[in-house]
Structure 1
Amino acid sequence: MNRHWPLLLVLIGSLSLGACNRRAVPTKTTTIPVRPPAPEVRAKNLDFRYLAAKGKAQIDANGEKYSANLAVRMRKDSVIWVSASLLGIEGVRARITPDSVQVINKLEKTYYAGNFDYLRRQFNVPITFLQLQSMLIGDYVPAPADTALSVTSEGPTQTVKYQQAGILVEQLIELSRARLQKLNVADPKSQSTLTVTYADFQPLQPSAQPFAHGILVQAQQPGRQPATVTISYRNVDLDKEKLSFPFSVPAEYGRNKRK
């Protein structure tokens, strides 16, 4: 198994925008204003304070196929914590806040600590903490402020479209559940595409909110093999207990200074 396994595909497969064209984006830390869902958008996002989930990611990327066990913890709008294990051994741990990113790679005994620009450079789009949080749990992702929306409904589905930094974003909402069913992202310039499909909706206690236990990520870039990540959540708990988000770096680990 290649030690350089695709870290971010495992950690945040539902946000695999790195498959889009590598374009220059600002690296200065900025806050991207996001408006609440427009009144005509029929999506209902998950209501919680703490979320804990465990599952498995099946990865097919860079000519390799393998699986990783995932543990995800969140404090809404505040912290995302992810642990990825291979063969029962933790390989990667990440702690992400709106203004910081910390990642330990235990396979290589390195760590990264910096601001959210790390993820923006990885994906080459202006990713925000709220967008990342939404994609991991299957929430509708509101458009940046002052962005024109196209909202249409046909049968059981509502479609919302907008552009962000030249990238086309399309979200399909299943009206019966008021939950996101599919996310399509396309870069017309590079002809790269990303599709995230949410499935296996199950009610979560205590309020029976529907949650997608299955996430399929398909990324395609011209001239490269498609990358696919399937995330299957087994156990998902909302507000069952106050969660901790442990993160410490062993003294012998070297800092990875990413450009």
Structure 2
Amino acid sequence: MRINNTTRTLLWLLALSATLTIQSCSKKFLGFRYDPKAELSLEEIEFDYFSSRTKFKYKDGNKKNKATANIRIKRDSLIWFTLTNGVIEGVRGQITQDSLVLIDRLNKQVIRYSFDDLTKEFKFKFNYDLFQAVLIGDMPFEVSQEDVLEKQNNNYIVAQTNGDMTIRNKISSKTRRLENLKASTSLNKNTLELKYADFKLLDDKPFAFKALMTLTYFPEGKKEEATIDIEHNRARIETKPLRFPFNIPARYERK
């Protein structure tokens, strides 16, 4: 299946950010070999069902798009979302443990991406957990004994390497949440930066209601920059099971 350039960039940005932000441990104290007194306590959002209403602004060169998303998550099982331009629902999608499916209501098409296809396309390991980690914001990469930790201006700086990637994380000592991440790879000059802001309590855990993802990349040697600006107008840990309506009209073209 051929993936258009806009979809390619969006998926690349999500894949790279998710790959770098997979899984943290709630209230787990992690020691570091070089300094036994150094400890880093990380928090994660605990939930069975989560929902949000979120504004997305996407920019890649001269291309600009914005949409409002309604997102519902059943932990470790299903991510459901709709995208509207303010009035009309243009896309409805769901992410399961094996695939991403989009219903394009404007063009009356159904587009299915298997994680195997996406992994081959982007040379990144795609799976459900990556997408869930990005949306919830429980970060960062699991800290190991090989990482370097230092305290800087009342924040923790964690320097990591993973394969060909180098990652620099800034963790707030106040919220114990990731505030900034910058990653680069030795294979090319591509870099990804994540910035999180507007932390508010969500069921007694700090949650970033704003995020900015910036990918700098070099197609054919020319520097390009893509950004996704995320603002959660509402985020909730739901106490009752949610509905995930996803009916595909028979007349829609399958791709």
Q: Specify the TM-score bucket, using the shorter chain as the normaliser.
A: 0.7 to 0.9
Give the TM-score taking structure 1 as reference length: 0.78
Q: Which residue does 1:22 correspond to in 2?
A: none
Q: Closer, same or farther in 2 for the Cα pair 1:164/1:121, shift >3 Å?
A: farther
Tell me: CA distance 1:172–1:8, structure 2 relative to 1, closer, same or farther (3 Å).
Answer: farther
Give the distance between the partners of 1:255 and 1:51, measured in 2 at CA.
30
Q: Identify the match of residue 154 of structure 2 among 145, 153, 156.
A: 156
Q: TM-score, normalised by structure 2?
A: 0.79
Task: Specify whether residues 13 and 220 from structure 1 end up closer, same or farther in structure 2 by C-alpha distance, changes over 3 A only.
Answer: same
1:74-113 correspondence runs (5 A): 74-113=73-112
Question: Does the aligned pair in 2 maintain the 1:8–1:16 contact within 8 Å?
Answer: no
Contact 1:9 1:16 (8 Å CA) reproduced: no
The CA RMSD over aligned residues, in Å, is: 3.0
How far 1:139 moved relative to its partner? 1.3
C-alpha distance 171-117 of structure 1, shift in aligned 2 (>3 A): farther
After TM superposition, give the deviation of residue 216 of structure 1 in Å.
0.5
Richer in strand (by share): 2
Alignment partner of 2:41: what SS? coil
Residue type at the aligned position of 2:51: A
Give the structure 2 partner of residue 211 of structure 1. 207
Q: Secondary structure in 2 aligned to 1:170?
A: strand
Deviations 1:83-109 (A, max 9, x none): 211242222222112323222222332
Aligned residues, how many? Answer: 235
Distance 1:160 1:8 in 2: 30
* Shift in CA distance, 71/34, structure 1 to aligned 2, threshold 3 Å: closer
1:7, CA displacement in angstroms?
4.2
Q: CA deviation at 1:148?
A: 4.2
Distance 1:13 1:50 in 2: 27
Aligned to 2:191: 193
Identity of aligned residues (%): 26
AA paired with 2:166? L
- Which has the larger Rg? 2
**Displacement of 1:9:** 6.5
Report deviation, 1:217.
Answer: 1.0
